[in-house]
Amino acid sequence: MNKNIAVIRGDGIGPEIVEQALKVLNRIAELYGHSFTYTDVDMGGCAIDKWGDPLPAEMLKKCVESDSVLLGAVGGDKWNDVPGPMRPEKGLLRLRAGMGVYSNNRPAKIWPQLADASPLKKSIVDQGIDFIIVRELIGGIYFGEHKTEVVDGKATAIDILTYSEEEIERIGRIGFETARKRSKKLCSVEKSNVLDSSRLWKKVMHHLAAEYPDVELSDMLVDNCAMQIVKNPAQFDVVVTENMFGDILSDEASMITGSIGMIPSSSLGATTCGLYEPIHGSAPDIAGKDLANPIGTILSAAMMLRYSFDMAKEADAIENAVSAYLDAGYRTADIMSEGMTCVGCAACGDLILQNLKKE
């Protein structure tokens, strides 16, 4: 099978971690007889430096025309003072909107080898951590109007949060369908005691529930959900929520699994052309020092194979190679513990490669 993958190496540690994921994809291609063509795309701070734009139109076109997109990370302190519309993160928002990827799926699953790395008590971790946060990705306050103006002589900032019934329904269906493939439990998270957008969210979710009688739907306020994730994460199977709430909760969920560097994510819309990226940032403080953990990016590549290319066995092979790497006691600095062997970013990729076998 031949696939064209748009590759955004990005900023900070992005190029280092993407390189390891590409090595793994190349080995998969050899083992299974596939052909992956990589198209380099500039986005983020590097695109600002090169083109004066965080996502030039021709770069977005390359992404939209690809079979899927692999992204490292964008942003950094270097670009903190550029005008708001030109910040690196604006390129990412425009990429999501341009690709129409409205559903971001972030798993929060603890690897048994890393149970001790979780900041939660052993008694909580032993109950299990294995859930997915389905986050609406191209609506809400991040895509509403943003402005700062002077009102009565004082600077006043305004950010508009808007959701339509259609936007809620399409992400709600993703939540229900995902729950149907797992343990058939869906928790809808909102702030309906305060926000009109959340009241509409809750109404639409309950209307949809009639179409999914096999899925148990529950409602939870976002502040309570934030508490419950650290108190009793085992209660969750699939969580569906709006853009900003999902951004915050998914980062919290990643940390209870031991390391943000281990978590992949997928973003999909109406087609199989998806955006795949680790959920961590560009970490400019360790960029170029061979310290980054590339596993989140490698597992994102595995998600691409599974969800966009229908290559389940190939994805299993990558995940099994990561598990074997952890079993052997190798760790990057972010997940290092006593008795383990500390390795750098490149060595991590090479060791996973050694464990990669055809399933």
State the pLDDT at residue 105: 93
Q: Which residue among the candidates 247, 276, 307, 334 is catalytic per the annotation? A: 247
| 212 has a pLDDT exceeding 90 | yes
Length of the chain: 359
What single-letter DSSP state applies at residue 265? E
Annotated active-site residue 334? The verdict is no
Q: What is the pLDDT of residue 330?
A: 97
pLDDT attached to residue 255: 87
pLDDT of residue 278: 94
Domains of the chain, CATH where assigned: 1-105+257-359 (3.40.718.10), 119-256 (3.40.718.10)
Residue 80 banded pLDDT, cuts 50, 70, 90: confident
**pTM across the whole model:** 0.86
Three-state secondary structure of 44-72: CHHHHHHHCCCCCHHHHHHHHCCCEEEEE
Phi first, then psi, for residue 11 (nearest 5°) are -115, 170
> What is the average pLDDT across 147-174?
96
Task: Please choose, from the candidates 275, 264, 346, 269, the residue with its C-alpha nearest in 3D space to the C-alpha of residue 41.
Answer: 275
Predicted pLDDT of residue 83? 82
Given the residues 3, 23, 62, 191, the one annotated as active site: 191
Is the confidence at residue 17, as pLDDT, over 80? yes
Q: Would you call 357 a catalytic residue per the annotation? A: no
Mean pLDDT of all residues in the chain? Answer: 95
Amino acid found at 47: A
Question: What Å distances lie between residue 350 and 175, 193, 203, 248, CA to CA?
Answer: 36, 51, 50, 33
Q: Can you give the pLDDT at residue 84? A: 75
CA–CA separation, 324 and 161 (whole Å): 45
- The model's confidence at residue 56, banded by pLDDT at 50, 70 and 90, is very high
Indicate if 212 belongs to the active site. Answer: no
- How sure is the predictor about 260, in pLDDT bands with cuts at 50, 70 and 90? confident
Cβ neighbours of residue 299 closer than 8 Å, sequence gap 6 or more: 262, 263, 264, 278, 318, 319, 322
Q: Out of 53, 219, 251, 350, which one is annotated catalytic?
A: 251
Helix, strand, or coil (residue 43): coil
Average pLDDT over residues 89-108: 93
**Per-residue confidence (pLDDT) for residue 82, from 0 to 100:** 82
- Mean pLDDT, range 84-109, rounded to an integer: 91
pLDDT, tens digit (0-9, with 9 covering 90-100), for 300-329: 999 999 999 999 999 999 999 999 999 999
Q: Which of 142, 212, 276, 307 is catalytic?
A: 142
**pLDDT of 185 above 90:** yes
Would you state the pLDDT for residue 117?
Answer: 85
Is residue 142 part of the annotated active site? The answer reads yes
Catalytic (active site) residue 191: yes
Indicate whether 285 pLDDT > 90.
yes
